[in-house]
């Protein structure tokens, strides 16, 4: 339950993330229908990248996501993309929070931001769903599985997201992108396993992968979903910063990493007695996704998981860089950064399973 304690609830706004509340209140009165002050602002404990705030006023609750202040890597923290995908997917009846407005004027609170509804429900920070009775856990896993399958079934053109990313060569482009980001963040240092993966991954992309293209979330985990207060149903998917057009198997295998990640500091299940917990096996979970998306199976799964662990390690490497630069938005960013080398080693272990 440690991750729940670390991430749940709100706190006073961190000194480095404070802004002019009166200026935001004035903006909301103009841009959020029905809003009225006074405005109260708190900061959510969770989240590593874009600072996220709870806004209350006039008996209503909202959420604000903003770019962090300070020096940022090019292309990172694109809250305008988050806003766009939320608005588009909401129009496709996919479970996302309703959005109210995007502000790209840095003079309001210092950085770009958007405002959306705060959705009531439960967030589970541990992948074994310890708060849920054993006999109900499989239904929660099935709800996650159905939700990611629904996402990968959306027609991006019909949703107005046909230009939301580059089609084709997804793995090649992503490996190049995260390799460049890893190698470019000099302040965060180098990691031997990451260096090996930078060389191995682009030379071993499966020839059978194909060029499928769908809207993908990029960080589909149980703690980025809000579940219904009492039912095993996903009512909102959060944190779309890494979303794009990409290969659905990359997105699904990222989600599937929970089966191979260690329990404790991450949303992992490795080492747990899944049958005793009422949780489906990795093979059963893969089969359910394949049934929903019309696949016969997922060849080269170990490669896809190695790629995703590398990508996650590159993200954690970026968090380490923000810790060094003093711009990290979470109180436990230092602890996450400390897990970089074990995560990179685990990623290389998946590459070995794939034949490295």
Question: CA 127 to CA 215: how far, in whole Å?
Answer: 24
What average pLDDT does the structure give for the chain? 92
Q: What is the DSSP letter of 108?
A: T
Q: Is the pLDDT of residue 80 over 90?
A: yes
CA–centroid distance for 153 within its chain: 19
Question: CA 253 to CA 211: how far, in whole Å?
Answer: 16
pLDDT tens for residues 338-349? 899 999 999 999
Token pair belonging to 92: 């496709």
Show Cβ contacts of residue 153 under 8 Å, excluding neighbours closer than 6 positions.
Answer: 214, 292, 293
Domains of the chain: 2-117 (3.30.200.20), 134-353 (3.90.1200.10)
Per-residue pLDDT, 159: 97
pLDDT band at 226 (very low <50, low <70, confident <90, very high): very high
Per-residue pLDDT, 4: 61
Q: Express as a percent the part of the chain with pLDDT over 70.
A: 93
Q: Is the pLDDT of residue 6 over 90?
A: no
Per-residue pLDDT, 112: 93
Higher-pLDDT residue of 210 and 247 is 247
Q: At 187, phi and psi to the nearest 5? A: -65, -25
Question: CA 190 to CA 202: how far, in whole Å?
Answer: 19
pLDDT tens for residues 234-273? 999 999 988 999 999 999 999 999 999 988 656 799 999 9
CA–centroid distance for 80 within its chain: 16
Q: What is the DSSP letter of 15?
A: G
Per-residue pLDDT, 134: 98
Q: Is the pLDDT of residue 7 over 70?
A: no
Higher-pLDDT residue of 337 and 236 is 236
Token pair belonging to 140: 């929660």
H-only helix segments in the chain: 2-7, 21-31, 79-90, 134-151, 170-184, 192-203, 248-256, 274-277, 282-293, 301-325, 333-338, 340-353
Higher-pLDDT residue of 5 and 248 is 248
Maximal CA-CA distance, the chain: 60
Handedness of CA 140, 130, 8, 38 (dihedral sign): positive
Count of other CB atoms within 10 angstroms of residue 75: 9
Question: CA 187 to CA 228: how far, in whole Å?
Answer: 42
Mean pLDDT (whole number) for 312-337: 84
Show Cβ contacts of residue 22 under 8 Å, excluding neighbours closer than 6 positions.
Answer: none
pLDDT tens for residues 18-76? 999 999 999 999 999 889 889 999 998 865 568 899 999 989 999 999 988 766 555 55
Show Cβ contacts of residue 291 under 8 Å, excluding neighbours closer than 6 positions.
Answer: none
pLDDT tens for residues 101-130? 999 999 999 999 999 999 999 999 899 999
How many helices (H) and strands (E) in the chain? Answer: 12, 10
Higher-pLDDT residue of 37 and 329 is 37
Q: What is the DSSP letter of 53?
A: E
Question: CA 332 to CA 194: how far, in whole Å?
Answer: 23
Residue by residue, DSSP assigns 247-276 as -HHHHHHHHHGGGTSBBTTBS--BTS-HHH
pLDDT tens for residues 129-173? 999 999 999 999 999 999 999 999 999 999 999 999 988 899 999
Question: CA 233 to CA 229: how far, in whole Å?
Answer: 9
Per-residue pLDDT, 40: 96
């Amino acid at each position: 339950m440690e991750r729940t304690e670390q991430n749940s609830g709100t706190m006073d706004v961190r000194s480095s993330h404070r802004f002019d509340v009166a200026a935001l209140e004035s903006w909301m009165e103009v841009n959020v229908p029905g809003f009225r002050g006074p405005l109260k602002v708190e900061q959510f404990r969770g989240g590593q990248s874009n600072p996220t705030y709870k806004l209350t006023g006039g008996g209503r609750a909202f959420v604000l996501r903003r770019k962090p202040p300070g020096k940022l890597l090019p292309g990172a923290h694109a809250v305008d993309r988050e806003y766009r995908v939320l608005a588009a997917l909401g129009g496709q009846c996919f479970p996302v929070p309703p959005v109210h407005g995007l502000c790209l004027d840095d003079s309001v609170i210092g950085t770009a931001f958007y405002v959306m509804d705060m959705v009531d429900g439960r967030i589970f920070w541990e992948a074994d769903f310890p708060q849920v009775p054993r006999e109900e856990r499989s239904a929660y896993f099935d709800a996650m599985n159905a939700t990611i399958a629904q996402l990968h079934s959306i027609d991006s053109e019909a949703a107005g997201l046909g230009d939301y990313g580059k089609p084709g060569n997804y793995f090649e482009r992503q490996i190049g992108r995260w390799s460049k980001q890893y190698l470019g963040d000099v302040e965060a240092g180098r990691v031997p396993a990451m260096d090996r993966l930078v060389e191995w991954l682009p030379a071993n992309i499966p020839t059978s992968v194909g060029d499928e293209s769908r809207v993908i979330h990029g960080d589909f985990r149980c703690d980025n979903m809000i579940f219904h207060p009492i039912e095993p149903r996903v009512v909102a998917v959060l944190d779309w910063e890494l979303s794009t057009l990409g290969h659905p198997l990359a997105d699904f295998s990222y989600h599937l990493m929970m089966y191979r990640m260690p329990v404790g500091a991450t949303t992992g299940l490795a080492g747990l007695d899944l049958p005793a917990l009422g949780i489906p096996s990795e093979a059963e979970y893969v089969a359910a996704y394949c049934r929903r998306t019309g696949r016969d199976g997922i060849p080269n799964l170990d490669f896809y998981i190695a790629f995703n662990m590398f990508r996650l390690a590159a993200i954690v490497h970026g968090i380490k860089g923000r810790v060094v630069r003093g711009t990290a938005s979470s109180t436990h960013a230092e602890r996450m950064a400390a897990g970089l080398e074990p995560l990179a080693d685990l990623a290389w272990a998946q590459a070995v399973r794939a034949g490295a």
